[in-house]
Chains A and B, each alone.
Chain A
Amino acid sequence: MLLKEGTQRISLQLERNESVLRQTFSHCSDIVFRHLDWTDGTKALVVYADGLTNTNELEKMVIKPLLERNPASDQPLQEVLKRQLVPVADSKQVEWLEDAVQSILYGNPAVFSDQEASALIVGLSDFPSRSIEEPVIEASIRGPREGFTEVLRTNTSMLRRKINSHLLKLDSIELGKLTRTRVVLAYLEGHVDADVLRLVRERMGRIDSKAIIDSNFIEEQIEDKPFSLFPQVQNTERPDTVAASLLEGKVAILVDGSPNALIVPMTFWSGFQAAEDHYERFLYVSAVRFIRILLFAMSLLLPSFYVALTTFHPQMIPANLLISIAASREGIPFPTVIEMLILELMFEGLREAGLRMPRAVGSAVSIVGALVIGEAAVQAGFISAPIVIIVASTGIASFAVPRYSLSLPFRMLRFPLLGLSGSLGFYGIAIGTIFILGHLCMLESFGVPYLSPASTIGDKGMGDTFYRKPKPNRS
């Protein structure tokens, strides 16, 4: 008799419950069944998942007091247990076997007895997890140094510590028919954009997949345009970023097992906002923002600009520079576009290889890359030196975008733009950028225009886009 959803009540007969559970957990070597017998014939069964439960506590708080019960006092087992369990925070009674099973799988032991047709769930879930560490991708010089971990509770606790208010709501949802992943919808009541919240709830409700392993499993299912290159959901591993976003009226989605929280809606400009921008003084930050935007434009356009300039519009290059470039191109076998494509691909390859390389081998990759591409290729006359300079500067520029997910579309768009500039010159670049701009203008993230507040007239809130406005001064 297998378990079906919401159909099986817990019966008074302990043997019957046990047989159902044993069938349910067949071939599950980590599920432990412990029988407790008393002299008066009372029987109890404790079921828990080994490794997910704090067995020491279980022993101390549940099993030992139960065994010490005086059968003569005729106290019902359940009563003893409830009294004993006051110190254990999260315990409850369930009547459906299915609920019991789920609790056991989450790591909370279930206690069955032959005196009552229900099971007691003891909140003793405990499993090994990573400690809170400094965020790796979004490191900062000033400001908090904690990053999300894989444990949902730890993550929500970090969030609650940032906003100690009852207005911070953490709605819990279970997603994934098989994985039963716990997902928390965090928002700040009274601040949150009601339309966004409604949309998030609606789209999350429509998720019908078997497995949610990481936050991206949700991101891809709720974003507005899955085929757009631009991310419409922001992800972060910093609790302070999430807290700040919540204060701005956004909604955050935390997924158990993922150290990356999702924030919606995302706007284009959030790609230029590093967490540190709010911990450093505003003048410096505004200047850096400007540099970032410049570098970001470079990361998209520099290679195609170079190709268009040298192969279509040499009039626009100053004479001395032009002759220098011409001298370095003397005897190079490939057209400039092809040269640029080869080197860009090599650079992307280097980056990809370096990303997943074991740390010990990582330096070898960079040495080989720098030597082979930078030195040898130029000296052998395969590649001209300015191309190496351009590709290197483009690479550096693309690392200056604080949000990794927003630097990806520009890395990819570089190639079509290169093709356009190589075939049509500046005209091609113009066509390409117009298409990109048009797409960005049309894009929405949860009903919010992607380019807002820059694209919407009279919209306030420009204070955190091209620059950061100062916090009010009280002196």
Chain B
Amino acid sequence: MKKKAVLFAIIGLTVLLTGCWDRTEINQYAFWMGTLLERLEGGDLKVSAQIAIPSRIGFSGNRTAQEQRGNIIISAVGRTLMDTCDKIQSKLPRRLFIGHRRSVFLGESLAKKGISDSLDMYTRNMDTSLRTSVFVVLGEHPEQILTLNSPFDPFSANAAVDQDNYSRIGDKALRDFIVAMESETTSPILSAIDLQPLSKEEQGKTFEIERLALFNRKSEMVGLLDEKESLHALWIMNKLKRTFLTGYISEGKGNGGYVTVSENNMASVIRTSVKDGQITVAVRLTGKGTIKENRTSLDLLRPGNVLLVQQVMEEQTKETVEETIREVQQKYGTDIFGFGEAVHRQHPYLWKELKKDWLAAFPKMKVSVEVHLKIKRIGAQGKRV
């Protein structure tokens, strides 16, 4: 009994008296919500941190003033990321907490110079989640992304992640970038943020995510795909599950006009063949559609007309997709679609030879596209009103 009491006393005292607690109260943390990396003229890194100000957000939900931002931007310049993180810490009265950072923004100028060296810190250390979203911010003034005051989220860093989820080009995380870089041939892509809003009302409140930034194997940003091309690229990569396709119908009895089809269950199959060193890629794109808008005078209750729409859509889509692929092949020469991986999988023995000058072979590949859009439903009426 006495022994037990002594034992308990010793355990209790070591816990209470030594003070070696790992405990940090939640209000002793500075929550780092988003990062912006920029490259300065001299080659130095500028890191800006979006730090939460909890009291401005308030648990009761009523933000004191809509115009007042719930965060503060702290910047520092240094040679490495860790170096600058330290400098940011010395500007804050609370301990930096990085576990909840959901997005990293990269300035366009930095992206063009290559980002592998900057991402090293994030992949080397465990405290950055692989689910962290990475964006390229287009334009001369990327710092505006952090000061942006979204009416929907106190942090533009979180708003960007959510918007990336709902935007048509889907969510892209650090993990996807790493996976692409780890393959021998695939080039990575990232979502690009456009800060140029259409109206004054949107100024400083919203941004647009609809374009893809293309990177080469050296992780340098080489170009941008426009909205339509981005969707096509993602479809080929089998990452797009639903979208809207619009085509112009001019044939038939009716007057010409546009038709928009909502596609879902979208998928792609890449078949490759190698003959005498010439690589041929056949891309088969499929989807099931519902006609959502019909601006022509076609009566869709007639099966023939639906078939017509389907055929025209397939043809037009095929053309534009081929164009997209050709542009990527010729202009950028980056294999963002994973054609190299497909050849690797389907011709593992030939691959050893082929991969040696894949970069040269990629633009010369023959790519044929086949589109199958099955229109299943025409909506609630046949002819337009």
Spell out A's residues near B (CB within 8 Å).
Answer: 310-312, 314-315, 319, 322-332, 335-337, 385-386, 419, 422-425
Q: Which applies to chain A's interface (DSSP): helix, strand, loop or mixed?
A: helix
Residues of B1-29 at the interface with A, using a CB-CB cut-off of 8 Å, are: 15-16, 21-27, 29
Partner of A311, one of B15, B16, B24: B24
| CB of B286 to closest CB in A, whole Å | 37
User: Within 8 Å CB of A331, what residues of B?
Assistant: 27, 55
A-B contact count (CB 8 A): 73
A residues near B59, Cβ cutoff 8 Å: 324-325, 327-328, 385-386
The interface residues of chain B lying within 8 Å CB-to-CB of A311 are: 23-26
Q: Which of B21, B31, B154, B158 has a CB less than 8 Å from the CB of A326?
A: B31
Within the complex, the shortest CB–CB distance from A316 to chain B, in Å, comes to: 9
Which residues of B are found within 8 Å of A323, using beta-carbon distances? 31, 52, 54, 57, 154
Query: B31, B59, B97, B102: which has the most chain A beta carbons within 10 Å?
Result: B59
By beta carbon, the residue of chain B nearest A423 is: B15
B57 touches A327 (CB 8 A): yes
Apart from A314-B100, A324-B54, 4 more pairs, CB < 8 Å: A311-B26, A314-B99, A323-B31, A327-B55
- Give the docked Cα–Cα distance between A422 and B16 (Å): 10
Say whether B100 contacts A326, CB under 8 Å. Answer: no
Contact of A314 among B33, B97, B158 (CB under 8 A): B97
B58, CB-defined interface residue at 8 Å:
yes
Which B residues are in CB contact (< 8 Å) with A314? Answer: 26, 29, 97, 99-100
CA A324 to CA B15, docked complex, whole Å: 30
Residues of A close to B22: CB separation below 8 A = 312, 424-425
- Assuming A314-B97, A385-B59, is B26 touching A325 (CB within 8 A)? yes
Could you tell me if B27 and A326 are in contact, using CB atoms closer than 8 angstroms?
A: yes
Pairs A-B, 3 closest by C-beta atoms: A327-B54, A315-B99, A326-B54
Whether the Cβ atoms of A310 and B100 lie closer than 8 Å is no
- Bound together, the chains give a CA A324 to CA B100 distance in angstroms of 13
Q: Is the CB of A322 within 8 A of B25?
A: no
Residues of B within 8 A of A422 (CB): 23
Near A by CB (< 8 A), chain B positions 267-314 give none
Shortest CB-to-CB span from A374 to chain B, Å, is 15
CB atoms of A329 and B15 under 8 A apart: no
Q: List 5 A-B contacts (CB under 8 A).
A: A310-B25, A324-B57, A327-B54, A329-B26, A329-B54
Q: Would you call B25 and A319 a contact (CB within 8 A)?
A: no
The answer, among B15, B21, B23, B102, for a CB contact under 8 Å with A319, is: B102
Q: Knowing A322-B100, A328-B59, say if A312 contacts B54 (CB, 8 Å).
A: no
Report the bound CA distance from A310 to B97 in whole Å.
13
Q: How far is the CB of B60 from chain A (nearest CB, A)?
A: 9
Alpha-carbon distance between A350 and B26 when the two chains are bound, in angstroms: 28
Q: How far is the CA of A324 from the CA of B154 in the complex (A)?
A: 12
A348 CA to B26 CA in the complex, in Å?
26
